[in-house]
Structure 1
Amino acid sequence: MELQWALLVLGFFLLSTESHGCGVGYIKKNTNCTDEDECETPSLCGENSQCVNTHGSYYCTCNEGFLSIPPNFTASTAGECVDINECFDKTPACPSDLVCVNTIGSYNCTNCPKGFIRDPKLNSSCKDVDECVSSVCEVHSRCTNTPGSFSCICSPGFDKHENTCTDIDECKDPDVCGTNADCKNLPGSFICECHTGYSNYSNNQSKCTDIDECKDPDVCGTNADCKNHIGSFICECHKGYSNYGNNQSKCTEMNCDEFKIESDMQGKLKDILTLLRDSCESLRDTGVGRQTGEQLLEILITSTDYLLSDGNIADSETLSQFLDAVENSMHLIGPQLKAPVTRMETHNTFAEVAVRRGQAPPSGCVTLSTDSALFNTSWETVVGKSYPGFGFVALVSYKDMESSSDQFHTISRERSDDRERNITYQLNSKVVTAVVSNPETKQLSEPVTLIFTHEQERAESEGVGYSCVYWNEAEGAWSGRGCEEAWSNSTHTACSCSHLSSFAVLMALYPIQESFELVLITRVGLVLSLLCLFLCILTFRFCRSIQGTRNSIHLHLSVCLFIADLVFLCGISSTHDQVGCAIVAGLLHFFFLSAFCWMLLEGVQLYRMVVLVFHTTLKHLYMYAAGYGVPLAIVIISAISYPRGYGTDRHCWLSLEFMWSFFAPVCIIVVLNSLFFIITVWKLAEKFSSLNPDLSKLRNIRGFTVTAVAQLCVLGGMWVFGCFLFQEEGTQVVLYLFTILNSLQGALIFIMHCLLSKQVREEYCKLISRICSDKEKKYSDFSTNQSSNSQRPLRSDQSTAESKI
């Protein structure tokens, strides 16, 4: 190859020499041959190349980054410069963490490989990208970073299936938790839930082993022996104790005397108690009853239904025995029931019982319901402070249970304001018995709620009221103590009670209007009393023959009773105006007290006339202070201390709880007056028995004393009957006596102090004779002077008559 190139160059040289006279690559300059610079010819070698001149020739070389093909070519040899791809060179053109990119005549190391990023601190290097910083893997898998990439590994408890991590069900292995636990699969894990009596001691993924419960000395208490079994234990009760078949509960003492049989009990009730007593004794002796709890409940409900339908428990004593037997029976039956809730219904009886068992006391609310009532309480109230390992609550409802009228006397005594209004009661709900396992139910820590359905749908109003009551066995009647009405409407009444027993809702029927006979007696009697008192006032004021201290006392007594009766007649029923009603009650309070105070002054006056000095008198200032000042002070103090006591819903008189402000002073006055009259009568008897008695004066004083005592008996006795109005016995009779005496008190005073007084009768006769004589004189004057002027004599006669009056 090199020989051929040499021969080619030599041939070109000879050809040139011949043509110029000089050799090839030379030119003749003057006479000398000089080298020709072929590189002065532009673009002789082409692009990406350089021309290199030589003596007599030239050659072309490629720039850096280009490869000469062929090497050192000339224009005649048709060579070229080809770009060199530095990225394919065996020697790396770029560092390993950079990407080589070829360019024309060169290369660049600018781009980082996938999974890398250029480090801003070093322009010529790339750093790895941590793809695990972002959520590049699915749920239940873990991300692992690698140089330039990452990998996703499933979390423990998961297995990869079709690029997805799925949960591994460890519970498919039957031996993973063993036979003493239930395996529960969880996402990525599992737990072993131990059976009762076994434990894995907080290691939820380990097998469970038996718990020796008898290591706890309190698990069975002191009345039983604990025996451990694989996965369980039993409490063997001592003799006389029982856990009612709940072998893992504490034992309580059996008191079978609760099923005491009385000689006067109904035959069916005796049979029930005999059966329950036998079952109780069997539990106490052997720990196993003769019948199951469900069987005993069915027998009890069936027998109860028979007793109610037979109608033999209407009297109080039988009703007490019946309700007590049911309550004691539920204490025996409830713990033996197996189901959490047991319901049983017959024609006349409905029962629901809830039972809870366990080592820990139950908590939360519990609600029982029958066809007529709903009972709500908490399990804390049901089990109480001592929890034997079980608790129960029962609600029994009775249909068609009647109550006689004598069974309402307790509630009547408790609600004395109702007694004043002559209220009658009747049952307006079915009777229910609420029983819990807690032995302390006389005063519960929190009240229980019972909602009753009314037998008669009547809204509470002025004429109807509802009372929450329980059966008081000690008194054999319904009582409201410890039970309050929470709310009431036409169909239901809610009761809140602080103890447990048998409950019901009583409907109180209020008399809306007084009877027509009482209203008639009151109005006619008061009108007559006002007329008589008015005559008494005129008599005591203008009758000169009886003027004196005692007459002044009678005058003010009549004035007080006149004003009191007038206010009573006009304003006693003005309850629509609260302020006006209170004023009426205050006026009645004041004037009735004043009347009694003036009666006391009469007794004092008689005492002074007989015992101290004869014909002694009381100063008017002292009498006014005692007759009006003392009652006024009592009324003012009473009004300040308890202003709500004046006026009630039905009458403008004192409220029942405030009645002491009237009866207390009245009782004191009656007692003092009685003492004065006793001493007066005693002294009169001594004077009559003396040697030289002044018979006329003594007889007058004796007459005064008799009328004063009679007056005290009439007015004082009237308010004694008023006190008996609040007793149940003989209410109607006492009411009529009080009304008659109250209405006719003015007439009685007029009879005793005016018509029965000889001096007053004489004055009345004189007055009547004068009036009659004046009429006769006027008639004769008129007949004899018929033709003359009659006006002047008529005026003269009138003035004469007025002066005589």
Structure 2
Amino acid sequence: MRRGLLLILGFSFSLMTDLALSQCKVGFQSTGEGCIDVDECLPGERPICGQNGNCSNTNGSYMCICHQGYRMKSSNDLFSSEPCSDIKECLENKTMCGPHTRCIDTPGSHSCTCNSGFVPSNEKQPFLASDGVTCKDVDECLADSLICGKGGDCNNTEGSYKCVCNTGFSNYGIALAKCDELTCNNFAPEASPDQIPAKLDKALSLMRNACNALSNSHGPDGGQPDGEILLERLLLIIEQLLSAGPLNKNSAVSTFLKVVEDALRLIAPLLHKKSTRRSYNHTEVEILVERGQLAPKGEISLSSAHAHLDTHWETAAGDTAYPGFAAASLLTHKGLESSTNDSFQRLKEDHKHKGIRFSMNSKVVTVSVSNLNTTNLQKPVNFTFSHLVSTDENHSCVYWDARSAGGGWSTEGCEVVRSNANETECSCTHLSSFAVLMAMYELEDNFHLEVITWVGLSVSQLCLLLCVLTFLYCHSIQGTRNTIHLHLCVCLFIANLIFLAGISSTQNKVGCAVVAGLLHFFFLAAFCWMCLEGVQLYRMVVLVFNTTLRPLYMMAAGYGVPAIIVSVSAAIHPGGYGTDKHCWLLLKDGFIWSFFGPVCVIIMVNAFFFMITVWKLVDKFSSLNPDLTNLRKIKVFTVTAVAQLCVLGTMWIFGCFLFEETTNRPLEYIFTFLNSLQGTLLFVMHCLFSKQVRDEYGKLLSRCKSQKKKYSEFSSNQSSNSQAKSAQHTGESRI
């Protein structure tokens, strides 16, 4: 037992000795001989002081020493695992680089550069603040004598410069921009102000005043016009102009579109915002403006409810000297398509478009950029137009060409990229005003209509010729009504003859105008003679004595009135005679009403006289009037006169729509049928229905038969005598 206790005591003593030896201080480790220092700086998987510091071992510890330009956030650098962080010299000492400089922090250091408009004294960048380098001003005016352009003077300022523009030049309030020459002559008053609407002249005056004010402002603080206000006023004028109705001349459309394009080019640089959008009932515009020392690059997208434009800033800025800004505008005209829906002359002159009828199927848009040279773009611009009418018809991309005949649509430089029922995408190599046309191929099966026209009018002409001969040589019906019928038939005969020979002869413009003028005159004359018949019937019923009309008065009314109307019409609108498709009156500008207006008046006057005549006839038939025979004749005359007025009047009701661009076949057939019916109807009513004329025809036929009989007897006798003489001669010869 004693041995066991000794063993336990020895084990306990040994254990206590080991524990005493193992309790070394931090930074030391135990060995068999005691505690020794631990070297924490020995290479390991991860440096204890990080990448930006060095480790230094000490007795029982270590020290992290940061590289130059780095430090620890805490002040304790012993036993710290915190990495060394970069010192932000530029934040801690913002003036360390000196005036007119920019300090740039770099890992473990910094660098200094001079601000724009300054250069370092040692002409080397970057530099350190400790190098003793300073930044001095650059005199840009000496470095580049044309820095402000040919129309401006350069004033040097500390770190920059300022351009002061001469009269007639402007940099639109951008001090560092070159002075561009202003083209205020673009807004000069029109040589013929009566040829353009008053509102358009107001727009010219507005932009002319703004341009002159800009021309006289000699610097960025010289009182330039406010771009936003100027844009609002311009759009208000355009709104008033388009809401007043279609522009009545292509030249007015050309002037309007040019004013809008030039105005947007002038206004855009005056706008303060980079993007401006305005929308009204008749206009919608989006304008983008970029300013800066370097020309902008990249794509541009402008859009409205009816169109979308894709182009590039390089196109807007141009290849010439960059003035310090670039602008692009897209303006949609809501309603201008009605003013340009008949301006297809150039398209129709092109053989490629022969047999095609065009119609507007998009809104008209105007594109304006700050670049003045947009006639031949290196990068084409793309437009996407929404159709006014969804249709699968072919579509053409067109622009407004103001160079010929006052202006009109042309496909030159534009082509269709894609098209469906709802929209068309166009690509064009120039900028102007654009739209999409619906191209409808005309029907080629005109043979049946031409046959009906020629056969029907030939029959009508034959009947009219018979009427003229009857009224000339039938003595039993001579009188005032006969004279009226004679001249009515002569007018219709000549008018139909001209219609057959020249209605489609549009190749010669002068000849076509003459044909249209003659048709205008003779058809009006026919209506005037019908009106005279109504007046004559009224006089026959109402007046008891002196019911005849003097021939001089009838000639003055029948031919003088149409001559005056045609002369005045030709003097007011010389180009109103002859269209692209027919030798007839121009439908545009309301010129067609120089025919339909008088016709409507004549029909109403005639109807008035007929109603009074019928009323008087009914009144006299209801009374015990002894002259019933004469009244019955007048009744028949009235019925025939009303019938012929109905036929000729109804024919021209359909004729109102016959020469429209959207003429359809049913109207053409109805007009042709009624036109062919005129001569036949007049012959039947005034000749075949008249007992006196029938009697004259009977006498004429009987004379022809008797003459034929006499001729036959005479021929027979002559033949007998000849045979006898022949026999006699034969006998003599034989003797």
TM (norm. structure 1) is 0.45
TM (norm. structure 2) is 0.49
Higher RCO (CA 8 Å, separation ≥ 6 residues): 2
